[in-house]
Amino acid sequence: MRRGAPRRMKIVSFSRERGAPEGTVVLGVMDGPWTIGSRIVAAVLETHDFKVVHAGSDIASEHMVTQAVAARADVVAVGSYLSYKLNQVKELDERLAKAGLRNKIRLILSGPAGSKRVAEEYGADSYARDAEEVLEQCRAFMSGKKAEMTARRRVMTALELQPPDGVSLVAFSMTFSAKHADIEFSDYVSQAEAMAEAEIKACRRFGWDNVCNSTDVAIFAQSVGAEVYMPEDDIPRIIKPAIYPFDKELFKRITDYGAPVLIHCCGNVPQCIPFAPAVNPGGAIQFDYQVKLKWAKELIGDKMTIMSNLDCNQVLQLGLKEDVLEARRRAIQDAAPGGGFWLSGGCEIPRDMPYENMEAMLKAIKEYGRYPIVTESMS
């Protein structure tokens, strides 16, 4: 080498190639300026192929939600240091729900002000004592998430009378969806865009697998000649009815077109159940709470998908969250084994059903509705 000539050095990179990240985690601290803990957690997660988004410290819950939306996060992990500011965790839980994200992500609480009890009380999914536990929980969540069926596949598997990965949550909802979306019911039943907006918002908010709705029976009757009165924000009323006895032929044409048909039977009508498979073969049926679910499953469960029939008023609207969980447990025990089952109420979801009761429906599926159904563990 000539004296004075610059030396050329070969730069060797020791960083290993990475494929797609295991998942995306948004980290943040909402109740103070502390950052050391979140930086340690971030380092551990990044070492194990998780993409980490630093939302920052001493930030508001809405900022965490904004970051989660932008990053399409799988997990939101928040550190809590001050016990008197734990209400911010509840605010985060509620804001994630309003953004339609709560049923898609895991919310992990960590930090010295937290505990398992606190996490449950303030709406987090779990508590992690340290970075290692955060990593373990992120890995477990992503493993389960990757193994999950899509909502459509879960619903269609039930229609095929086969057990999916878990019981489908299918809410027959009209007034409930309209109220949740702040849409007048007269607009909901008469404008397709309003109906779609209401159902999509409710589906995202409450984690439904499928949208099962209708305009209203009065609107159907109106289309074949009935006279109908339409209040602004109440259900339509049939003033002069019309009768059209062509259900079987109609269902056949719809099925031949490729769309499954759901029969809905209001009231105490067990006499309709034995004839349903002949009218709607391979379809689904929903009947009210007066009909014994276990009896119907034994009678037609190998021929049709049954949409369960919990009491929409006494249980779903007026009952406590614990009542809903128990009713859902019994329904899953009675009719879910073997597939061919959707979880729902016996009729339309009540307009004023508490949101925590709707959330309890999804919780019941997570606790009792994973296939294969083990009925002995529910007793």
Say if residue 372 is preceded by a cis peptide, omega within 30 of 0: yes
Q: Contact, 32 vs 81, CB < 8 A? A: yes
**Residue 352: how many CB atoms within 10 A of its CB?**
9
24 vs 228 pLDDT, higher one: 24
| pLDDT score for 108 | 96
Collect all residues with Cβ–Cβ distance below 8 Å to 346 and sequence separation of at least 6: 286, 287, 288, 289, 290, 291, 308, 309, 310, 311, 312
Which two three-digit tokens encode residue 317?
A: 């609207």
Residue with tokens 């609107």: 219
User: For the chain, what percent of residues have pLDDT higher than 90?
Assistant: 55
Lowest mean pLDDT across 159-163, 183-187, 193-197, 270-274: 270-274
User: Per-residue pLDDT averaged across 172-198, rounded?
Assistant: 92
Residue 182 pLDDT greater than 80, yes or no? yes
> What torsion do the CA atoms of 188, 189, 192, 194 make, to the nearest 10 degrees?
0
Lowest mean pLDDT across 17-26, 320-329, 345-354: 17-26
Residue 376 pLDDT greater than 70, yes or no? no
Residue 54 pLDDT greater than 80, yes or no? yes
> What torsion do the CA atoms of 219, 221, 222, 225 make, to the nearest 10 degrees?
170
| pLDDT score for 242 | 56
DSSP code per residue over 298-312 = HHHTTTSEEE--B-I
Residue 100 pLDDT greater than 90, yes or no? no
**Domains detected in the chain:** 24-147 (3.40.50.280), 151-213+245-378 (no CATH)
User: Per-residue pLDDT averaged across 83-98, rounded?
Assistant: 91
Q: Contact, 315 vs 141, CB < 8 A? A: no
Residue with tokens 């920052």: 56
Residue 34 pLDDT greater than 90, yes or no? no
Each residue's pLDDT tens digit, 124-181? 999 999 999 999 999 999 988 888 888 999 999 999 999 999 999 999 899 999 999 9
The pTM for the full model equals: 0.67
Residue 223 pLDDT greater than 80, yes or no? no
Measured between alpha carbons, how far is 373 from 368 in angstroms, rounded to an integer? Answer: 7
Q: Work out the pLDDT band at 121, boundaries 50, 70, 90.
A: very high
Residue 7 pLDDT greater than 50, yes or no? no
User: What are the CB-based long-range contacts (under 8 Å, 24+) for 322-326?
Assistant: 324/357, 324/360, 324/361, 324/364, 325/360, 325/363, 325/364, 325/367
Q: Contact, 167 vs 343, CB < 8 A? A: yes
Lowest mean pLDDT across 59-68, 218-227, 264-273, 337-346: 218-227
| pLDDT score for 178 | 93
Average pLDDT, the chain: 87
Q: Work out the pLDDT band at 245, boundaries 50, 70, 90.
A: low
| pLDDT score for 222 | 78
| pLDDT score for 379 | 59
Q: Work out the pLDDT band at 301, boundaries 50, 70, 90.
A: very high
Strand order in the sheet with 210-212: 210-212, 168-172, 341-343, 305-307, 284-287, 262-265
Each residue's pLDDT tens digit, 13-24? 334 456 678 899
CA distances from 376 to 116, 231, 298, 322, 326 (A): 28, 49, 18, 20, 15
Q: Contact, 200 vs 207, CB < 8 A? A: no
Residue 123 pLDDT greater than 80, yes or no? yes
